[in-house]
Amino acid sequence: MPPIINAQGISKQFGPVPLFRDIAFTVSEGDRIGLIGPNGSGKSTLLAILAGQMTPDSGEVSIRRHTRLSLVAQVSEFAHGQTVRSIAGDSPEILGRAGFTDLDAEAASLSGGWRKRLAIVEGLVWQPDILLLDEPTNHLDLAGIKWLEAVLQSASFACVIVSHDRYLLENVATEVVELHRAYSDGLLRVKGSYATFLEAKEAFLHAQEKHQDALENRVHAEIEWLRRGAKARRSKSRAQIGKAQELIGELADLNARTRTSTASIEFSVTDRKTKQLIEMNNVGYAVGNRTLFDHLDFPVKSGARLGLVGPNGSGKTTLLRLLLGEIQPTRGEIRRAEHLRIVYFDQTRKLDPEVTLRRALAPDSDSVVYQDRVIHVASWASRFLFSADDLERPVGKLSGGERARVLIAQLMLQAADVLLLDEPTNDLDIPTLEVLEESLLEYRGALVLVTHDRYMMDRVSTVVIGLDGFGKVERFADYSQWDEWQLQQRAEPARAVTPRPMRSPGSKKKMSYLDAREHATIEQRIADAEADVQAKRIALEDSAIMSNGPALQAAATALEAAQKAVDRLYARWAELEEM
């Protein structure tokens, strides 16, 4: 049977440098292809070409007749007025497995993770022969990623997945393709898992390095001969001179293709000598009648690398804010060393889209002070793979990966005893993730990391704290232990949940139809209300509002009202759970 998609000799270029040139890409029945490559290599562009949404500059793309094709783009956007039901159609089974309960919820009002789930569901309901997924794990929590893995592992359709999630690639992909100009064909395609691909890539690069060394020696010999003058030149034919020039050109092309750059990431640490930085004693935190976690005893010492895992809403970000001192525990005590310097990477932190890259990297002048050294902004930008020409680009024009690198650059300028990182991996490509991991492994201060990147969690953290969302906290050696614990918890016939007021026998209230409808939607309403609190908190911290008395009072009142709304929803949730 012919391939579902057969692309031959395709090229695409934006600006002076081509993304890729004369590449071949086929997708056949049953293929599950992981597509990787550095930011800017053209992965999303290639998906758009395969989907027929973009025309290549050259080459041909053939799609088998009567093929049903779905593309799930990086950004999940829905029109105003669209509901979960109207997007997914009559597919209750797919929606149920995806975790949706309120089918009449407006799609545009869902959180980023649930919009991503809905976009994937929208791709599935067409019953495609081939599904193209562009960074499907962005904004998904760990439960969402596990759901996606299960869908793809059991799928009858072919798929191409652009992803930086290395465990997803390992668990799902039957082939891995890396798009990179370092390869003579523009890409390297290997059958097997991601681990198999890494072995094949290492062998390829080793062979290429040996070839490059041999070519350099041959070119050196030819150049020495040419330098001997006319007498030596007469001893060789004109064809041999042409061959020497071809070798020089081949080496120049090989050097250009294999020249790669990676971001230079190194976090600054203070010269503090004390080991004990933060101590949590019997710490608990509750919102309304709901306990997020309780009885947490844990010391944060210099050199510790602590990972936090748990479902959305289990309290991971709340625990980071407690460590930061932004909020206080509802029980227990948190003690911090004197003059402790904590740096917090907030996953919701926004960059002003109108600000230029120059001002985003160096707000006050054309230089930054990094580890007691003054560095010009152009040199600082180059550490994060930006050119001097990029400095006047508005931040709003940068890609997701480029904006993530700007945030890391800002973080690196602050010396810290403790790093609190809340989802720092979003939009980063695999080479940048590897550099980030190395930097975190070398960081001498304390690290507390929240990430849905399971590979990074396993590689970086020495202890994993798992929050189950029902008040229980457990300590694990790595992510896989946490995953096994979750499975055991779900298998238990009865779960111990947050303590609630005792009722006398027979006093349990029966749930009405309206109560049941409310119960089905309240968790999403709580998530939306918490997002509203976060938005109002960010608005309150805006410098323009901080300097405006009436506006500041109004913003504070709005934040208080939003927080009370969350408390009411949690109280009502407890009542419905009791029923």
- Tell me: pLDDT of 507 over 60: no
Q: Which of 178-182, 220-224, 303-307 is the least confident region?
A: 220-224
510 burial level (CB within 10 Å; 0-12, 13-18, 19+): exposed
- Tell me: pLDDT of 84 over 50: yes
Phi, psi for residue 183 in degrees, rounded to 5: -90, 140
Structure tokens belonging to residue 264:
């230079």
Q: What is the rounded distance in angstroms from the CA atom of residue 119 to the CA atom of residue 190?
A: 29
Q: Which of 4-8, 494-498, 572-576 is the least confident region?
A: 494-498
**What secondary structure letter does DSSP report for 148?**
H
CATH code for 508-578? Answer: 1.10.287
pLDDT band at 561 (very low <50, low <70, confident <90, very high): confident
pTM: 0.72
More confident residue, 565 or 63: 63
Q: Which of 139-143, 216-220, 444-448, 476-480 is the least confident region?
A: 216-220
Average pLDDT, the chain: 82
Helix (H, G, I), strand (E, B) or coil at 262: coil
Q: Give the pLDDT confidence score for residue 241 in this predicted structure.
A: 58
Fold agreement (5-192, 508-578):
no
Q: What is the rounded distance in angstroms from the CA atom of residue 225 to the CA atom of residue 248?
A: 13
Q: Which of 259-263, 313-317, 325-329, 526-530 is the least confident region?
A: 259-263
C-alpha 550: how far from chain center: 39
- Tell me: pLDDT of 502 over 50: no
- Helix (H) / strand (E) element for 91: namely none
Q: Give the pLDDT confidence score for residue 477 in this predicted structure.
A: 87
Q: What is the rounded distance in angstroms from the CA atom of residue 191 to the CA atom of residue 173?
A: 9
CATH architecture of 5-192: 3-Layer(aba) Sandwich (3.40)
Q: What's the pLDDT tens digit per position in 454-497?
A: 999 999 999 999 998 788 889 998 888 888 887 777 666 444 43
Domain extents in the chain: 5-192, 199-258, 276-487, 508-578
pLDDT band at 413 (very low <50, low <70, confident <90, very high): confident
What burial letters (b/e) apply to 268-301, b meaning 16+ CB within 10 Å?
bbeebeeeebbbbeebbbbbbbbbbbbebebebe
Q: What is the rounded distance in angstroms from the CA atom of residue 13 to the CA atom of residue 55?
A: 11
Say how many C-beta atoms besides its own lie within 10 A of residue 352's C-beta.
Answer: 11
- Tell me: pLDDT of 291 over 80: yes
Mean pLDDT of 268-286: 88
Fold entry, domain 276-487 = Rossmann fold (3.40.50)
Indicate the residue type of 144.
G
Instruction: Using alpha carbons, list the distances in angstroms from residue 72 to 43, 50, 91, 116, 236.
Output: 13, 13, 18, 9, 60
Q: What's the pLDDT tens digit per position in 340-376?
A: 999 998 876 678 889 999 999 998 888 988 887 899 9
- Tell me: pLDDT of 434 over 90: no
Q: What is the rounded distance in angstroms from the CA atom of residue 454 to the CA atom of residue 477?
A: 13
SS3 labels along 55-84: CCCEEEEEECCCCCEEEECCCCCCCCCCEH
Q: Which of 22-26, 300-304, 313-317, 548-552 is the least confident region?
A: 548-552
Percent of the chain scoring above 70 in pLDDT: 82
SS3 labels along 214-240: HHHHHHHHHHHHHHCCHHHHHCCCHHH
